[in-house]
């Protein structure tokens, strides 16, 4: 039976890597970073944070989600959603999604951001950690039906 996976975690935690290890070429993968790269011209950085390109990528992501949710009984769908709101989590629960939390721990995450991402992502990661119940570091991955 196909599954909707909602993969969450702070920036640079390994969400895309988790998907790469589990998804097949036949599955649908909705990843804002991949969508942004697909909509960006040649020579743009891999982790592009240009606000206009992100705006277009968000619109494309929402359209992809709407369509993929109608197909979830035919194919596995992997959706990266860093910090789903309570409303989004309720929707994912209604869709019987499996929530996957990828969290290598705050220290590792911040080191990865410093090495690979725009430093603005440190604020996003801090917000992610501050909004979550305390969990043991290195809990990669955790899979559950809901938080």
Residue 8 belongs to a domain with what CATH number? Answer: 3.40.50.300
**Are 140 and 103 spatial neighbours (Cβ–Cβ below 8 Å)?**
yes
Q: Averaged over 128-145, what is the pLDDT?
A: 59
Over residues 24-38, the pLDDT tens digits come to 999 999 999 999 989
- Structural domain boundaries, residue 135: 4-144
Query: What was the pLDDT predicted at 116?
Result: 87
Query: What was the pLDDT predicted at 28?
Result: 98
The mean predicted confidence, pLDDT, of the chain is 88
The lowest-confidence range among 2-11, 13-22, 48-57 is 48-57
Rounded to two decimals, what is the model's pTM?
A: 0.86
**Are 110 and 125 spatial neighbours (Cβ–Cβ below 8 Å)?**
yes
Q: What is the CA radius of gyration of the chain?
A: 15
Query: Does 134 have pLDDT greater than 70?
Result: no
Tell me how many domains the chain contains: 1
Query: What was the pLDDT predicted at 118?
Result: 81
Over residues 42-94, the pLDDT tens digits come to 887 777 677 888 899 999 999 999 999 999 999 999 999 999 999 999 999 99
Query: Tokens 């590792």 — which residue?
Result: 108
């Amino acid at each position: 039976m196909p599954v909707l996976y909602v993969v969450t975690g702070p920036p640079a935690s390994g969400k895309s890597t988790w998907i790469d290890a589990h998804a097949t070429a036949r599955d649908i993968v909705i990843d804002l970073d991949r969508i942004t790269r697909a909509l960006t011209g040649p020579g743009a950085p891999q982790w592009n944070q240009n606000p206009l390109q992100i705006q277009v990528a968000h619109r494309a992501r929402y359209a992809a989600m709407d369509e993929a949710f109608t197909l979830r009984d035919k194919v596995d769908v992997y959706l990266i959603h860093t910090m789903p709101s309570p409303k989004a989590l309720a929707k994912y629960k209604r869709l019987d999604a499996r929530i996957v939390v990828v969290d290598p721990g705050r220290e590792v995450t911040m080191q990865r951001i410093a090495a690979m991402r725009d430093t603005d992502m440190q604020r996003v990661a801090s917000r992610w950690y501050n909004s979550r119940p305390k969990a043991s570091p290195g809990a990669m991955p955790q899979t559950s039906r809901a938080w």
